[in-house]
Structure 1
Amino acid sequence: MAASILRLHFHDCFPNGCEGSVLLDDTSTFTGEKTATPNKDSVRGFEVIDAIKENVEKACPSTVSCADILTLAARESVYLTGGPYWPVPLGRRDGLTANKAAANELPSPFEPLKNITAKFISKGLDLKDVVVLSGAHTIGFAQCFTFKQRLFDFDGAGNPDPTLDASLLTNLRTVCPNQNDSDTNLASLDATTTNKFDNNYFKNLVNNSGLLQSDQALMGDNTTALFVMNYSKFPFLFSRDFGISMVKMGNIGVLTGQDGEIRKNCRMVN
């Protein structure tokens, strides 16, 4: 669940800013973001945020926003799986609507690095943030359809991705056989330490063992490859920089003052 909460925070912040829009259900006036292509049948953790919100409301009614709760929960998810702990600026307020179209523009594992980087830059982040925040893939899983092309038809001629480690290719073909009913099977984003937040994700990239093409592509650019090499060698650098980049991401498009509201229920506006 830690990886799911962390991903939920990312999928909240990128479309409209960190204002809890991903948590909203559909209404008669807008379609929520839960059914956007990057979210449908893949984002989880809503019940966790609901439970936290319910307890917080009992202690401090109409005081702590769902956006702040999700931001804090993401930090705790990292810390409880062995990752860094960083101070989280608070005071976000919750948005009053959702934007499915914007959610459909979330960075995709099928996009080239230059496209992903452009999306990060448009949110006030930079190339270093792309690498650092990709390191969140040190925990969690990916569905087979997000990388199956690398295993069976990377070049359109029935060949696998030549950069993919041979032993990993063999293992992944067992988990994800070349048939449609395997599309939702799960593979670890970091098979070495699946449930531990560490720098092995970067070591995997150096060894051509990244699961997603968008991850392995970080080794194909001189600038991002240098970051990857440094984080693979110096885990304290990754821990430090991950907290810094998470604060930057957590400050995207926040609502403060009289903007937005403090929701009583994270799934609906007041």
Structure 2
Amino acid sequence: MTLLQWILVFTLLGGVLSVLAAGLFLLLPEKTRSRLLPHAVSFAIGALLGAALLGLLPHALEGVQDGNYHGITATVLFGLFGFFVLEKLVLWRHCHHEDCEIHLPDLHDHDVHHAAAGTLILIGDGLHNFIDGILIGAAFLTDIHLGVVTALAVAAHEIPQEVGDFAILLHSGFSTSRAFLFNMLSSLTTIVGGVLAYYSLSTLQPLLPYVLAVAASSFIYVAVADLIPGLHKRAEFSATIKQMLLIGSGVGLIYLAHSTLH
């Protein structure tokens, strides 16, 4: 195979394999899935924060070539603000040009906020997968064996995060088929990143840290602004302990994946 063919095959595997493995969650009976979903959301919070603060941001800071660390943190800040505005646009779109506070009952308003969270997580995940594709492409340009190992590592460390993404999409009102379809489409940006790396890695290199910072800001925003407030609706001590343990588990799995595979 040519080098480009190697990159195409393994970016496809690196992105799609993790989604297929995480998609096993969708095969559970609906009653079981509904019972597990609130716990999966807690896990997703930990996975998102872990991916952003232990994976994406450190890589972004390491990749800065001119020592402009303030530029990375400023990108995260503006990213958070940008996703706030984007969520507002999603909410306004659901209002159908009427006053939401008047015509939307509390339950509908709650569902619309969850729908916005699903939209934002797909955007952030698409950016993250795009970066993974660039990393795989760059590894293949260095050595074919390194490329294969990198693609397998990407698939392995993405699985816990993809489980969290499925939980968020289901929590946002997506059907199982739509959650799988959109997550699969998001994973295909891995191929785009790999192809771009093959043709223009030297041009893209200075921009990668800032793309990583934007992806990190989307994960932080969804976890903190959209998901954590929902946990406070169950204030009993036992529920809080479970939430803390599951968030810690999400962070821990991401930490282990990054520390052992990178």
- Structure 2 length normalisation: TM-score? 0.29
Quick check: which one's helix share is greater?
Answer: 2
